[in-house]
Amino acid sequence: MIQIPKHVYEKFLRFALENANPLDPRNWKECIGLVLGRITEDEILITDIVPIGSGTAVFVDITDYEKVFSLILPSRINAGEVIVGWAHTHPGLGLFLSGTDIRTQQMYQQMHPKAFALVLDPTKISKNFSGFNIYRLDELRSHPRTVDYYFDEYFDFLASRETLTSELYLVPEVPVIISATEVSWNAINIMLSGDTEIPVNQPLEVKLEINLPFCQFIRVEYQINTENLAEDPFPMQLLHSKTIYHEIISSGTLSIFTFRPKKIKPTYIRIKNLFLSDYQQKLQKMPDLCLKTQIKG
Ligand SMILES: [Zn+2]
154 and 189, same structural domain? no
Q: How far is the CA of 37 from the centre of ligand 1 (A)?
A: 21
160 and 120, same structural domain? yes
Q: How far is the CA of 94 from the centre of ligand 1 (A)?
A: 9
Q: Among residues 168, 185, 200, which one ends one of the domains?
A: 168
Span 115-134, average pLDDT: 96
Q: Among residues 110, 139, 168, which one ends one of the domains?
A: 168
Q: How far is the CA of 120 from the centre of ligand 1 (A)?
A: 9
40 and 124, same structural domain? yes
Q: How far is the CA of 171 from the centre of ligand 1 (A)?
A: 29
pLDDT over threshold 90, residue 144: yes
pLDDT over threshold 60, residue 58: no
0.75 exceeded by the pTM? no
Q: What is the pLDDT of residue 80?
A: 80
Span 107-135, average pLDDT: 94
164 and 26, same structural domain? yes
Give the number of domains in the chain.
2
Q: How far is the CA of 215 from the centre of ligand 1 (A)?
A: 23
Q: How far is CA 11 from CA 4, 22, 48, 50, 261, in A?
A: 12, 17, 9, 9, 58
51 and 159, same structural domain? yes
Q: Among residues 168, 203, 223, which one ends one of the domains?
A: 168
CATH of the domain at 215: 2.60.40.680
How confident is residue 282, by pLDDT bands cut at 50, 70 and 90?
Answer: low
**pLDDT tens-digit map of 68-100:** 666 666 666 667 888 899 999 999 999 999 999
By residue range, what is the domain housing residue 8? 2-168
92 and 10, same structural domain? yes
68 and 119, same structural domain? yes
Q: How far is the CA of 146 from the centre of ligand 1 (A)?
A: 14
Q: What is the pLDDT of residue 55?
A: 79
253 and 114, same structural domain? no
How confident is residue 269, by pLDDT bands cut at 50, 70 and 90?
Answer: confident
204 and 84, same structural domain? no
